Amino acid sequence: MNILYDERVDGALPKVDKQALLTELRRQLPDLDILHSAEDLKPYECDGLSAYRTTPMLVVLPRQIEQVETLLKLCNRLKVPVVARGAGTGLSGGALPLEQGILLVMARFNRIREIDPAGRCARVQPGVRNLAISQAAAPHDLYYAPDPSSQIACSIGGNVAENAGGVHCLKYGLTVHNLLAVEIVTIEGERMTLGSDALDSPGFDLLALFTGSEGMLGVVVEVTVKLLPKPQVAKVLLASFASVEAAGRAVGDIIAEGIIPGGLEMMDNLAIRAAEDFIHAGYPVDAEAILLCELDGVEADVHADCDRVRAVLERAGASEVRLARDEAERVRFWAGRKNAFPAVGRLSPDYYCMDGTIPRRELPGVLQRIGELSGEFDLRVANVFHAGDGNMHPLILFDANQPGELERAEELGGKILELCVAVGGSITGEHGVGREKINQMCSQFNSDELTLFHAVKAAFDPERLLNPGKNIPTLHRCAEFGAMHIHAGQLPFPELERF
Amino acid sequence: MNILYDERVDGALPKVDKQALLTELRRQLPDLDILHSAEDLKPYECDGLSAYRTTPMLVVLPRQIEQVETLLKLCNRLKVPVVARGAGTGLSGGALPLEQGILLVMARFNRIREIDPAGRCARVQPGVRNLAISQAAAPHDLYYAPDPSSQIACSIGGNVAENAGGVHCLKYGLTVHNLLAVEIVTIEGERMTLGSDALDSPGFDLLALFTGSEGMLGVVVEVTVKLLPKPQVAKVLLASFASVEAAGRAVGDIIAEGIIPGGLEMMDNLAIRAAEDFIHAGYPVDAEAILLCELDGVEADVHADCDRVRAVLERAGASEVRLARDEAERVRFWAGRKNAFPAVGRLSPDYYCMDGTIPRRELPGVLQRIGELSGEFDLRVANVFHAGDGNMHPLILFDANQPGELERAEELGGKILELCVAVGGSITGEHGVGREKINQMCSQFNSDELTLFHAVKAAFDPERLLNPGKNIPTLHRCAEFGAMHIHAGQLPFPELERF
């Protein structure tokens, strides 16, 4: 399946002469590692969203920033599209290659440049793994807060590109809230620093603009992240509920109590049973839903908050509330949650992971509607997600070998995302738009807004060579997709005739 | 003095026929309040930076968003520059009018649309005062965290434009960290929403880009802010030191302890004595410096942290550490700090308030160097600032009636800002660039970076009609200013010949 770049709606990319490009690359960058045989290219044909696969024309693996500068300058001159890739763990196809383009793999930029305990920051290369930063900071009792489930493998450069979240981002923020600066190389081969060590930077906030831009504005070559002191103590409560709606309401009640948990996660019965079978976390397999609520901070505070949260959960109708007895049980509770995706994956030949975000107060209603949609489409849906953020991850189970099931799963996924937008939410929380959700962007944004996105893109990359076909759809694509633009009650694309 | 727009370096603005513009405005917007007589225009000639004054051509005071849409569409068609203004409390001349432009006063958009306790947010018009949001949220035990000293008067629209900070932003973040969405009108008269109620928005982060853009990208017509639960308890410690350097070191020590105070402020002897004379806060007038450290949260936590901070302060050489006995004394301690600017103003006919930000670890060295510069320029400098953020506010005392003193004060201010940049900081923390610091932007950014800023600006406002001459200097201005670009060791404007 090669569905990356839908030429019918996005307009054809320029044709590139592979042999001429290879010759020019070798001439200008004799030390650059280049992969070009079908066999060598195969492992790079997809990222974590393996439903989408494209063999790249060439894969390059630079080691020095100067190589990236020269490469991008060359691509800009020859009009060769470039897709940058970190560890390839992304779940929305943001690093899906182009048949007519270069895949720029940043994996070899894997050095930690500096851990600065006094300044509470770390300066690292983009290929450094998320967890490796916390490991390097641990001797100073510091850590890097955003913790995507893939943190053992995913790289910080990819985290910046996707504005990655994680279990702890409810309290500690997304990637963008934990960055001080990024050094980038533009498509013109110019190196520049966005942000600074200081509190705030004058001029426009290009650091925030760049974070989550999915490789469309430049290539990250160095990242300075904030480090936080490790909390003295962390405790986890596990609460069982007789319905997903009741659990959803309890989430709002906890937040309304003025408590900000370190993590607040929800799993429904399908996810609970799958995780329990796989990890033996000690979950109550008869519960229709569980909440995992972590409280972290100083000892006295955490104890007091545990009591308050327990009271809230009981008032909200929890049939059982268990405090993890010790650190081993706490880790086990989280292991079940962090492995829930692969656990659900064992239930079905294929699954499709959604990533919608909704205002917290809408959780009970949206969970109920997802249950109804699951029935209507005759496909099982497991719910396991960052409840405190309203960041939902419905997993749609299907079998791609059954005719029509993939299409039905995709249609159901689309309905769920439109539901998220309709209640004031968004089509992505932390996985990004990538290739996967590009059509749903037409539901979320109107033509004025998309036009503005394209104008901002053009400020960085006027020839649209960086990761084309991802993140921001063309107006033409949206017209073809025929999405009803939902928010603000406007009609879709009233001004399309202008373009 | 009319020094807003330096035509020599920025290129002349288009000439506007005032009478023709007035006629057209009255035809298209018969209900719009317009001021045009010299007498009526006078009160609008400056914002909080009164050293810069320009009489606007016209002042308009719309009441409905539709009027703003029509007005901006008209200005775009007729190429009339527009400066938007909130309460006019800004300290960097960001709302300084144009002789050949319209001043768009948003003061009448002063309604609170919605307080949503469950969603922990408030939807307000841009002219609503910062403090009024917290007052409206108080019955729900919620508040809006960013608290500029001007919070009784400044408006939330202006806070968005300047990305305002305040005493509590060390712990709770700047304006940008406390926003969910803003509704804007573009120069083309199109209304759009940036951000959403949800955790994260797909596409580029235009909300963060817009926040702090100083009126150059669009006009804010509605703001949705986050509300936080009021802390159960707040305590303040006052510590006295025998030198500013020792107090500066203590700041780093507190943060290194893993404590994030609700506020951490520093004042030097000149500021202490001025505030004490004015407010009778009970400050130790013999101390060379004091630190005010507020700890807020739940009772047990705050008590434990007070003990830890006291120990750190004593180890750092504090000669005295006092805990505010009761709420009345706590309020008095803060009243001294919040009134320090007007208090220092009583010492001298004029003063010039700086707003540089530096990495915290540089505080002792920078404070010492400011003391030396004060001697060299023979001008008194009072230091009163957000120490925890490294956001300094040196106040340079001078007498504009003494020949040469204003120029000397400006030169000293420039030296202090260059010092901030040289140690890895920034020329503004929370007051913005505006008109005041536009030349120092040439020190902070190189020509590639400025070119990128201009390209982003053009994505929103290609004719550069929104607040021209502020925030982002032209390359031509920087060449004239002749600034040595300090960071990254590059020479200034190596590529200027390209432009």
Per-residue CA distances from B367 to B130, B393, B461, B467 (Å): 31, 11, 40, 34
Q: What is the pLDDT of residues B287-318, one digit of tens each?
A: 999 999 999 987 878 888 999 999 999 999 99
pLDDT band at A350 (very low <50, low <70, confident <90, very high): confident
Residues 322-351 of B with CB under 8 A from A: none
For the cut 90, the answer to whether the pLDDT of residue B146 exceeds it is yes
Q: Nearest CA of chain A to the CA of B276: how many Å?
A: 29
Beta strand extents in B40-101 (DSSP E only): 58-61, 82-85
* Pairwise CA distance, residues B292 & B402, whole Å: 35
Q: Do A202 and B456 touch (CB under 8 A)?
A: no
Query: A107-111: long-range contacts (C-beta < 8 A, 24 or more apart)?
Result: A107/A61, A107/A155, A108/A61, A108/A62, A108/A63, A109/A62, A109/A63, A109/A157, A109/A221, A110/A155
> What is the per-residue pLDDT for B496?
29
> What is the per-residue pLDDT for A10?
62
Helix (H, G, I), strand (E, B) or coil at B471: coil
What percent of chain B is predicted at pLDDT more than 70? 93
Q: What is the pLDDT of residues A226-259, one digit of tens each?
A: 999 888 899 999 999 999 999 999 998 998 887 8
Contact criterion met (CB below 8 Å) for B357 and B389: yes
Strands A82-85 and A102-105: parallel
For the cut 70, the answer to whether the pLDDT of residue A9 exceeds it is no
Q: Assess if CATH 3.30.43.10 describes domain A7-105.
A: yes
For the cut 70, the answer to whether the pLDDT of residue A495 exceeds it is no
CA neighbours closer than 13 Å in the CB half-sphere of residue A263? 26
Contact list in B for residue A307 (CB cut-off 8 A) is: none
CA nearest A429 in B: which residue?
A: B200
Contact list in B for residue A430 (CB cut-off 8 A) is: 200
B495 contacts chain A (CB < 8 A): no
| Helix count and strand count (H, E) for chain B | 18, 18
What residues contact residue B292 under an 8 Å CB cut-off, 6+ apart? B236, B237, B238, B263, B264, B265, B266, B267, B333, B334, B337
Contact list in B for residue A90 (CB cut-off 8 A) is: none
Could you give the strand order of the β-sheet that contains B58-61, starting from the edge strand earlier in sequence?
B33-35, B58-61, B102-105, B82-85
pLDDT band at B10 (very low <50, low <70, confident <90, very high): low
Beta strand extents in A250-343 (DSSP E only): 263-268, 289-297, 320-323
Residues 31-70 of A with CB under 8 A from B: none
Here the tokens at position B286 are 């013999």
Contact criterion met (CB below 8 Å) for A427 and A444: yes
Closest CA to A88 of A134, A50, A143, A141: A50
Closest CA to A387 of A328, A340, A438, A327: A340
Q: Do A453 and B300 touch (CB under 8 A)?
A: no
Cα end-to-end span (Å), chain A: 31
> What is the per-residue pLDDT for A479?
83
Strands A381-385 and A263-268: antiparallel
> What is the per-residue pLDDT for A198?
66
* Pairwise CA distance, residues B483 & B499, whole Å: 17
Q: Nearest CA of chain B to the CA of A193: how many Å?
A: 8
Q: Do A433 and B163 touch (CB under 8 A)?
A: no
* Pairwise CA distance, residues B495 & B499, whole Å: 8
pLDDT band at A202 (very low <50, low <70, confident <90, very high): confident
Mutate to test the interface with B, among A204, A305, A464 (most CBs of B within 10 A): A204
Residues 216-255 of B with CB under 8 A from A: 217, 229, 252, 255
CA nearest B431 in A: which residue?
A: A202
Mutate to test the interface with A, among B200, B230, B446, B466 (most CBs of A within 10 A): B200
Q: Nearest CA of chain B to the CA of A494: how many Å?
A: 13
- Closest to A441 (Cβ–Cβ): which among B163, B203, B208? B203
Contact list in B for residue A452 (CB cut-off 8 A) is: 186, 192, 206, 459-460
Largest CA distance in chain B: 71
> What is the per-residue pLDDT for A482?
63
Largest CA distance in chain A: 71
Q: What is the pLDDT of residues A20-41, one digit of tens each?
A: 999 999 999 999 999 999 999 9
Here the tokens at position A358 are 């909704």
Mutate to test the interface with B, among A200, A207, A210 (most CBs of B within 10 A): A200
What residues contact residue A12 under an 8 Å CB cut-off, 6+ apart? none
Q: Nearest CA of chain A to the CA of B292: how many Å?
A: 19
Residue, of A499 and B94, whose pLDDT is higher: B94
For the cut 60, the answer to whether the pLDDT of residue B7 exceeds it is no
* Pairwise CA distance, residues A363 & A251, whole Å: 9
The whole-number average pLDDT for the span A162-173 is 88
Contact list in A for residue B197 (CB cut-off 8 A) is: 359, 424-425
How many Å is the Cα radius of gyration of chain B? 23
Q: Do A174 and B200 touch (CB under 8 A)?
A: yes
pLDDT band at A51 (very low <50, low <70, confident <90, very high): confident
Task: Tell me the fold of A233-342.
Answer: Alpha-Beta Plaits (3.30.70)
CA nearest B421 in A: which residue?
A: A198
Residues 443-472 of B with CB under 8 A from A: 444-446, 448-449, 452-453, 455-460, 471-472
Domain A7-105 and domain A233-342, same fold? Reply is: no
Per-residue DSSP letters for A3-16?
Answer: -SS-HHHH-PPPP-
What number does CATH give the domain B112-229? 3.30.465.10
- Chains A & B: contacts with CB separation below 8 Å: 220
B138 contacts chain A (CB < 8 A): no
Q: Do A199 and B429 touch (CB under 8 A)?
A: yes
> What is the per-residue pLDDT for A486?
38
Q: Nearest CA of chain A to the CA of B291: how many Å?
A: 19
Q: Nearest CA of chain B to the CA of A367: how many Å?
A: 16
Q: Do A199 and B141 touch (CB under 8 A)?
A: no
Q: Of A467-476, B323-332, B337-346, which range is least confident?
A: B337-346
Q: Where are the domains of chain A?
A: 7-105, 112-229, 233-342, 441-498
Q: Nearest CA of chain A to the CA of B420: how many Å?
A: 10
Q: What is the pLDDT of residues B213-257, one digit of tens each?
A: 999 999 999 999 999 988 889 999 999 999 999 999 999 899 888
For B60-77, letters b (16+ CB in 10 Å) and e give bbbeebebbbbbbbbbbe
Q: Nearest CA of chain B to the CA of A461: how many Å?
A: 10
Q: Nearest CA of chain A to the CA of B62: how many Å?
A: 23
Contact criterion met (CB below 8 Å) for A169 and A386: yes
* Pairwise CA distance, residues A104 & A33, whole Å: 11
